[in-house]
Amino acid sequence: MRIRLKEGKQKEILTLAKGKGAWKELSKKLDVSEGYLKNDVRIGYRLLSEESYDKICKILGKNFDDFIVEKLSENWGRAKGGLLAEKKTKEIKKPKKDENLAEVIGIILGDGHVSEFIRGKKIRNYFIKIAGNTDTDLNYIQNYIPSLFEKVFSERGKVFISKKRYVGYFTLYGKNYVSFMKSVGINSGNKKVNNQGIPDWIKTNRKLLKRCLRGLIDTDGSVHTISRKNLNIRIDYTSYIPQLINDVRDSFIMLGFSPSKVINERHFFLSKQDEIKKYVKEIGFGNQKNLNRLKNFQKNAPVVQRPRMQPSQRQSKTVLSKGDLISLRE
């Protein structure tokens, strides 16, 4: 069973149960993953299981039955986890290895992750999740990503917007979605621990690579001016995954760009203005935030003018004498 509590009470009792300890400690006591507890259950995106609720009551030495609004069947959770009532895995349309899928993979490599949480014989859930800042990425999370996933999987997924934390989540639940992502080179679990890189089938195709880079820059990239004094535009990319930062930089080089060296093992940028134009023309942005920043910076970009030459600097015409012409002909 799943327990639905009055608004705000789930977070309240979880915080009480955690006390001064860490979320990791509480997750062990409840037998759930730390990320699931902290990122999904705490903010109300997922409901407490009856088992977890009972454990919390035991930890705090009291019950909170007065806060219970309703109890939902376990099938409610399984449906979200991608399992049918008959315990058969939900069938999905197998996507083509095309440009849309390459962009989806770029987005997942950036602000997403693939999860299959299993502990013992209990299957918790399988999902693909992408996070974004609702202050800057709201349209990207609510509209662009669901539309792109629908083109790839014929499924728009679910969007959750937190009103208090300025964060939004796109989630696509289902075991077969996770299995498919693994089959195309995106492993489940922690991307940094896995040292996840760009799959080879994307790196060897220029069209696919460009769309994958779009997804990566839309999520883990940014558009800036070089400095307050230098208003020329640059595109930055940051990743803490060694394989991924090298793959992304090597990909730009392969496509004819001149990225900077990797700084502090996690950051590089494009700063040549002709290459910024090339990026916009050949790769482009799906995230309106970056496109808006680019247009705003372009309005204030410096106008490069050729300096006027002083009269003394102008090249004087050379007048050749008849004798000079004869010598040149010879």
pLDDT digits (tens, 9 = 90+) for 208-247: 999 999 999 999 999 988 878 878 889 999 999 999 999 9
How does pLDDT run across 1-32, given as a tens digit for each residue? 788 888 888 888 888 988 888 888 888 888 88
- Band the pLDDT of 325: cuts 50, 70, 90: very low
In the predicted structure, residue 149 carries a pLDDT above the cut 80: yes
Position 326 confidence tier, pLDDT thresholds 50, 70, 90: very low
- pTM score, two decimals? 0.69
Q: How confident is the model at residue 308, as a pLDDT?
A: 53
Question: Domains in the chain, ordered, with CATH?
Answer: 2-72 (1.10.260.40), 99-299 (3.10.28.10)
Stretch 45-59: mean pLDDT, rounded? 86
Query: For residue 327, what pLDDT band results from cuts at 50, 70 and 90?
Result: very low
3-state secondary structure the chain: CEEEECCCHHHHHHHHHHCCCCHHHHHHHHCCCHHHHHHHHCCCCCCEEHHHHHHHHHHHCCCCHHHEEEEECHHHHHHHCCECCCCCECCCCCCCCCHHHHHHHHHHHHHEEEEEEEECCEEEEEEEEEEEECCCCHHHHHHHHHHHHHHHHCCCCEEEECCCCCEEEEEEECHHHHHHHHHCCCCCCCHHHHCCCCCHHHHCCHHHHHHHHHHHHHHHEEEEECCCCCCCEEEEEECCCHHHHHHHHHHHHHCCCCCCCCECCCEEEECCHHHHHHHHHHCCCCCHHHHHHHHHHHHCCCCCCCCCCCHHHCCCCCCCCHHHHHHHHC
For the chain, the average pLDDT equals: 83
Percent of the chain with pLDDT over 90: 47
